[in-house]
Structure 1
Amino acid sequence: MSPTYRDSLAQLLPSGWTIHRHDIWLHANREYSSGTSGRPAEITQGFKLHVSSALDTALRVMEIIVPECVKRGVEFKVVGDPQLHVMLDGKRQTRAASGKFMTIYPLETEAMRELIETLYLLTRDEPLTGPHILSDRRYRDSKILSYRYGGFYPPQRVRIDGTHESLLVSPGGDLVPDERVPYFTLPPWVVDPFGTRPFRGVDDQIALKERYLVESAYGFSNAGGTYYGTDTVTGAPVFIKEGRPLTNCWVRDGRSWDSTDILRHEFNVLEKLRSLPWVPSPLDCFEDAEHTFMVQERVTGTNVRQFWARNDVILSPYIRMPGRLEKWVPIFRTVAEKLISMVVEVHRQGVLLGDLSPDNVLIDPESHDMWLVDFESAVLDQDDLDQHARGVLWGTPGFMRPNRTDAQRLSPVDDFYAAGMILYGALCPVNQLFELNPSAREVFLDGFTTLGLPHAVRKTIDALLAGDSRKALDLLESLPSP
């Protein structure tokens, strides 16, 4: 781990202050007259300040914030090092926790009001920005200062599943959960010290760009949400992807991209593939309320993992059932031919997929029409080495070619390998196992072949794993058609 943040913090703290590491944090505590270190035990909860920061401005943020905290005797913590800073704002980070580069613990509400206003005046003319902390309310128009009410050193209890739950103490002495959710909320007995402002209700309709009506959420990550919506101009159903600034950052040799950059690049990839009928058409890309949104044609279908698990299709538990293998093989041929042909055509258009997995392939269970979706990790032929380096590392475990991360650039072989593993999952979805025991791949194929699986199916998968799409298509021709 890099000592950058600790060294900087040590230079900013005077004698009488200590630094100790706990979990991912560097805690800065002052010594009290009693000679003990740490906050008085009776202060368990209150309003705390959070400071957000981009990676490249973190040291400057500390230079401004730390002296003011020291001057007022207010303790705080800072994320431990730059690598943890990147992880804290990563795509898989908890949305309610992300973005909190510094946490400051004023002991009284009035002290919090005075401190945050001072910090605002000190930072407002600086070119500072950071991820929006979703659990907090931003202070005025600051891009880095926010606040919420919560525990400092709160009591905890053990949930039934063994995890710990932080608690707040109500004025009546009741213990209530300290809710850490990706939106601003206050306990019922607490009043916002800066006045009440209306919350957006859960049933309020949102029209992005005053055009795209958000109807429901498909999913969320710290990098942004995905939504079902309607284009109110055309009436067409759409799918909307969101990019949150300064999250999911990718840094290489001093150059960085965040979720918004990645989303705009994905839009460019879709533009490149616009002529392909089984790739969603890109419709719009824009900023709204500081976030970036990409709107694309909405396609419907189930992902291929779910498709192969359907009762009328699934093979592995029922391969001995009379007629099951005979019914499965023609479906396998249809899906395999379409999947390989789609990947081949994407390559002809000058695009490499990078992350090809069952979640990125949709299929209509009745017609067997198929679509490729989610081009977040795809690269264009003309992309530079930095973009390729990101694509090389960005894949789904169990579908990445062994030693792929040793390469500098993606290659067609990487996509064909992933296609082969998708088809392997049609037999038995145990791909992640092979990360631990690569030899198990042959063991499973041996077992299926013994039970009657056509050799052409096995050889098709083997050909794709070797990157030979032409041979795989030739082998499929020997299998029965639907």
Structure 2
Amino acid sequence: MNPEYAAYAAAHPLFYDTAHHARTAALPDAEEYATALGTVPPGWEEARRGDWRSLAPAGAHVPPQGWKIHVSASLDAAPRVLAATARLCFARRVPFKFVPTRTLLLLRNGKYADRAGSGKFLTLYPPVPEDFEPLCRDLAAALDGEPGPYILSDLRLGEGPVHVRYGAFAPRFCPGPDGLPVPAIADPGGALVPDPRGPVFAVPAWVTPPAFLAPHLAARSAAGADGIPYDIEGALHFSNGGGVYRAKDPRTDRRLVLKEARPHAGLAADGTDAVARLTHEEDVLRGLAGLDCVPAVHEHLTVGEHRFLVMDFVPGTTLNTLFARRFPLSRSAPGEEALAAHAAWAERMHRLVTDAVADIHARGVVMGDLHMSNVMVSEDEQRVVLLDFEAASLTSEAARPTVANPAFAAPRDRTGQAVDTYALACLRLALHLPLTTLFGLDRAHAARLADAVAEIFPVSRASLDAAVREIEGPPNAGPADPEAPAPTASRSALPAPPAPGSPAPRPEPVSLSSWPRARDLLVRALLASRTPDRGDRCFPGDIAQFASPAGGASLGYGTAGVLHALHAAGERCPEAEEWLLARTKEPASGTPCGLYDGLAGIAWTLDRLGHTQEALDLAALVAREPLHALPPSLHGGQAGIALVLDTLAARADSAEAARLRAAAARCA
């Protein structure tokens, strides 16, 4: 799974969304860091774009690319860092932008946030190259000693929060290696080339770093695995909090795992960083020493600012992977024998995990983040080892975890051991049907899921009753997270919720004969989820909506796809059609041209909805693009574009039809 989904899932209780749309009870829409700016001088212009608030002198000239400055900050240091940086920028008339809220900064630095962009709290754009060195020098002096995470994509100046990188100032795009638009900078000849934005510092081949950066480049080159007395053999996992590495002790040939933690990065919901959680995990594991169901700890190391926990390598396969490999319903007509074998396997796995959890409970420890990826199964499938105790707590603390897998996360009415007991109940059902994420929206779904398990597998429904009772909790317990903010979409088209104290209605079973009813419910839900007031998307969807300017409008992920589905179901949404038309008049730079990801698919949809002239205008725009650099694919490449252009040519006059067919032929 793409770990970026976790960051988008944290922003909204029901739908994937961007961090700047996150709404919490504590910080609804406040921009509390902005108070640290002080008085903005006259003649400065302000704007809010996505996660950022920008300030620049009116009429300021900013070059399209060059050396820019990024400043990181811990959550608590952010107001001080912003105040000091803003004073310098105001005095020297340097445009800058910053993350305006603690909530946004926490999400940008979360455990599964984008590693390339994580850590960036402020960005400064020196108006002329001559400003770069003195600005770096004075800013580093002003912020000396302030804590902040290391920005992986940048070069760090000394040991403070100031980092630099050569890249684009203004949004420009060019075809990437796969032909799709990517951020760009100009080479010495003026040609646009990709501006890589990965979690590694890189300088374009034609750019010579200023001389004052030499000692910082040397320090970066010298940093590495020195100080680690083990041979690193490879990486098992990366997150924004650090990596997990496979290693070997050269003195004994013993296989080990090194778990890394970066300071001020990989933040949990309560703001604790990866180092604090790894230190806590070590303490917990040492308290569980001797148990066969937890990894043995050897030592911890500090290399630079990074902390490493050295543990025994646990051979085997995670329960999640093992489940995926053998799940019978991933095959057509698995047969009664396969279903029975899986049911017996699921029962045995659940018993092994239950016994392991009982062992740690006997030591007074709650795991807190129990799910299938945190369980390692031995090759003979006779033993399990529990992994990842970052969220663990003592039974006596009656605590709630700060991180949890949404398919196994206990509701707010559970603390201490009850958190693990709830996860075990979810596991009981998930080992047959992995749909327990739905419990976060409606715990009454547990009974329906248990009914389905008993219907499909040779499992007694009564044997699932205890799990269902555990998940449902007390009568009328309500949703798993009653304090979650309400979704932004209107709910006027949906049935009214049951009155307090009355049982939730059980929906009718869906079958082929009940398809019209199911279709109508889907249509109502889609219409109720629309947000036409937003500029980035009209309907919620996959995180790919936020990856390009056309994502929220596209056929594959956005409004065009929803309108096509509604139209096929005999429904129209004029409000959403107007939203889509408004966003196709002047497509933003960097908008893809493809069938599923861009303009071609939007044009095809508009034509099917009767907006033929607007579709032809869009198709003509696509036909003028340099399509030769695109891949041959149907999704975003030449095959899909050729089909659309050839189809729309039949709607055009002879001259335009010839141009569209010629472009389609070039793609073919």
TM band (smaller chain): 0.7 to 0.9
CA distance in structure 2 between the aligned counterparts of 1:123 and 1:448, rounded to whole angstroms: 59
In 2, distance between residues paired with 1:461 and 1:371?
25
Aligned partners of 1:233, 1:382: CA distance in 2, in Å?
41
User: What SS class does the counterpart of residue 147 from structure 1 fall into?
Assistant: strand
Give the counterpart of 2:89 among 62, 69, 89.
69
Aligned to 2:15: none
For residues 86-101 of structure 1, the aligned pairs below 5 Å read 86-101=106-121
Give the equivalent residue in structure 1 for 2:523. none
Structure 1 residue 446 displacement after superposition: 2.6
Work out the CA distance in 1 between the residues paired with 2:226 and 2:433.
42
The 2-side partners of 1:81 and 1:355 are apart by 28
Q: Give, in angstroms, the shift of residue 129 of structure 1.
A: 1.6
For 1:381 and 1:286, how far apart are their aligned partners in 2?
A: 28
What is the deviation of 1:442? 3.1
Q: Deviations over 1:222-273 (max 9, x none)?
A: 1111111112333211111111111133575xxx531101100001111111
Indicate the larger mover: 111-120 or 413-422: 413-422
- The equivalent of 2:68 in structure 1 is 48
Residues in 2 aligned to 1:205 and 1:366: alpha-carbon distance in whole angstroms: 41
Distance change >3 Å, CA 450–CA 2, structure 1 → 2: closer
What is the rounded CA distance, in whole Å, between the counterparts of 1:234 and 1:206 in structure 2?
A: 23
Give the total of aligned pairs. 440
Tell me, yes or no, if the aligned pair for 1:320 and 1:451 is still in contact at 8 Å.
no
Q: Equivalent residue for 1:80?
A: 100
Change over 3 Å in CA distance of 1:184–1:29 after alignment to 2: same
Poorly superposed stretches of 4+, deviation over 6 Å:
158-163
Offset at 1:4? Answer: 2.2
Taking the aligned partners of 2:162 and 2:422, their CA distance within structure 1 comes to: 46
Equivalent position to 2:309, from 278, 289, 294: 294
In the alignment, what sits opposite 1:394?
A: 403
Partner of 1:477 in structure 2?
none
Question: Is 1:462 paired with 2:465?
Answer: yes
The amino acid that maps onto 1:70 is F
Higher strand share: 1
- The one-letter amino acid paired with 1:4 is E
Q: 1:210 aligns with which of 204, 213, 228?
A: 228
Change (3 A) 1:319 1:449: farther
Query: For residues 439 and 163 of structure 1, do their structure 2 counterparts lie closer, same or farther at Cα, with a shift above 3 Å needed?
Result: farther
Counterpart in 1 of 2:265? 247
Q: CA deviation at 1:445?
A: 3.1
Q: How does 1:333-372 map to 2 (within 5 A)?
A: 333-372=347-386
CA distance in structure 2 between the partners assigned to 1:294 and 1:120 by the alignment: 32
Identify the residue that residue 61 of structure 2 maps to in structure 1.
39
Q: Which amino acid aligns with 1:123?
A: L
- Deviations, residues 286-308 of structure 1 (Å, cap 9, x unaligned): 21110111111110211222223
Aligned to 2:412: 405
Residue of structure 2 equivalent to 1:281: 296
Paired letter, 1:243: A
- Once the two structures are superposed, residues 453-481 of structure 1 have per-residue CA deviations (whole angstroms, 9 ceiling, x without a partner) of 131xx44443245459xxxxxxxxxxxxx
CA distance 1:198–1:382, shift in 2 (3 Å)? same
Q: Is the 8 A contact 2:154 2:165 kept in 1?
A: yes
Q: Relative to structure 1, is the Cα distance of residues 430 and 86 closer, same or farther in structure 2, using a 3 angstrom cutoff?
A: same
Structure 2 counterpart of 1:116, one-letter code: C
Distance in 2 between the 1:369 and 1:363 partners? 6
Unaligned residue ranges in structure 2 (runs of 5+): 1-28, 472-668
* Residue 198 (structure 2) pairs with residue 173 (structure 1): no
Give the TM-score normalised by the residue count of structure 2. Answer: 0.61
Amino acid in structure 2 at the alignment position of 1:144: P
CA contact (8 A) 1:357 1:399 kept: yes
Establish whether residue 419 from structure 1 lines up as the match of residue 424 from structure 2: yes
CA RMSD of aligned residues (A): 2.8
User: Which of the residues 250, 257, 270 maps onto 2:285?
Assistant: 270
Q: Does structure 2 retain, via aligned residues, the 8 Å contact 1:420–1:465?
A: yes
Superposed CA offset, 1:153-174 (max 9, x none): 1312577999852111111122
Question: What displacement does 1:105 show?
Answer: 0.3
Match for residue 170 of structure 2 among 131, 153, 166? 153
Matched residue SS, 2:431: helix
Q: Structure 1 residues 7, 191: closer, same or farther in 2, change over 3 A? A: same
Cα distance in 2 for residues equivalent to 1:245 and 1:175: 36
**Aligned to 1:138, which of 156, 167, 170?**
156
Match of 1:188 among 175, 200, 205: 205
Distance, in Å, in 2 between the alignment partners of 1:318 and 1:215 is 40
Bigger shift: 188-197 or 263-272? Answer: 188-197
Name the stretch that deviates more: 341-350 or 162-171.
Answer: 162-171
Distance 1:282 1:19, change over 3 A: same
Q: Separation in 2 of the partners of 1:320 and 1:452?
A: 11
Matched, 1:2 2:30: yes
CA offset at residue 277 of structure 1? 0.9
State the distance in 1 between where 2:321 and 2:462 align. Answer: 24
Q: State the match for 1:105 in structure 2.
A: 125
1:12–1:63 Cα contact (<8 Å) kept: no
State the secondary structure of the residue aligned to 1:267.
Answer: helix
**SS at 2:36 equivalent:** helix
Distance 2:219 2:36 in 1: 39
Q: Give the superposition deviation at 1:200.
A: 7.8
- Percent of pairs with identical residues: 31
Q: Distance in 1 between matches of 2:83 and 2:470?
A: 53
Contact 1:305 1:426 in 2 (8 A): no
- The residue identity in structure 1 corresponding to 2:207 is V
Amino acid at match of 1:321: G
Q: What is the 5 A alignment of 1:223-238?
A: 223-238=241-256
Match for residue 566 of structure 2? none
Alpha-carbon distance between aligned partners in 1 of 2:226 and 2:422, rounded to the nearest angstrom: 39
- Are residues 57 and 153 of structure 1, via their aligned partners in 2, closer, same or farther at CA, if it must alter by over 3 Å? same
Shift of 1:316: 7.0
